[in-house]
Amino acid sequence: MNETTKHKGLRRHLIQRLRIKGIQSKDVLNLMLDVPRHLFMDPSLINFAYEDNAYPISSDQTISQPYTVAFQSELLDVSATHKVLEIGTGSGYQTAILLGLSSMVYTIERQQALFKKTQRLFLQLGYRPKKHIFGDGYKGLPTEAPFDRIIVTAGAPVVPKPLLNQLTIGGKLVIPIGEKEQIMTRFIRTSKTSFDKEEFGRFRFVPLLENKN
């Protein structure tokens, strides 16, 4: 069996497990069947790429657990016309899934070494976010706002106000909120000044850090 067939087989098993855990979006599951997560992993951990776990990448950060990626992607409810902002590019794996859902993806990472590494990987694999930015995602991306969808892939102690303000009316923000442990939270902007808030269970993320490049 060659590597491609082997990896595809492992992804098929992973997708089955995600389905059993409650992921329903066909678009998200199909993308996770296609995107080669092993190429976003640290080479020493490649054999674990299709386990449903988070793993260390460089700069003390982690590649999110596949279930978490699927869960956040499903909650984000992206369609092809949406302008999407991701805070916390990390390995780029979640970005690759988002790029399968919309071609207008903007992504921000605050760890410079990781930013550069993932930038090279995107080029190598042919993933083309509209912008991949090195900076502090706490502030969002005012020059490109508003966004239909915003996803934060690090744990925020509180919801950053700029992110709420950069949503379109009807726009959605999916963000894990909390210190040691986070509650997955979705905000929907219902008018210029009002938001609906929904909560969806507990997760663990590396922290969203402010103002420190």
| Catalytic (active site) residue 44 | no
Q: Reduced to 3 states, what is the DSSP secondary structure of residue 213? A: coil
The helix-helix angle for 3-20 and 26-34 (nearest 10°) equals 150
Of the candidate spans 10-18, 90-98, 124-132, 163-171, the one that interacts with ligand SAH by CB under 6 A turns out to be 90-98
Q: Who contacts 54 (Cβ-Cβ below 8 Å, separation ≥6)?
A: 62, 63, 64, 65, 68
Sheet of strand 104-109: strand arrangement: 131-134, 104-109, 83-87, 147-152, 167-177, 182-189, 195-203
In the complex with ligand SAH, the residue whose CB is nearer, 87 or 175, is 87
**Residue choice 50, 67, 93, 147 for contact with ligand SAH (CB under 6 A):** 93
**Residue choice 88, 100, 140, 176 for contact with ligand SAH (CB under 6 A):** 88
Q: According to the binding rule CB under 6 A, does residue 182 interact with ligand SAH?
A: no
Catalytic residue among 64, 73, 91, 102: 64
In the shown chain, the binding pattern of residues 47 to 86 toward ligand SAH, with x for contact by CB under 6 A and - for none, equals --------------xxxx----------------------
Binders of ligand SAH in range 146-175 (CB under 6 A): 153-154
**Residue choice 15, 35, 71, 94 for contact with ligand SAH (CB under 6 A):** 94
Which CA distances in Å does 157 have to 22, 66, 127, 152, 181?
A: 27, 23, 31, 12, 10
In the complex with ligand SAH, the residue whose CB is nearer, 65 or 192, is 65
- Element holding 106 (H helix, E strand): strand 104-109
Size of the site for ligand SAH (CB under 6 A): 24
Residues classed as catalytic: 64
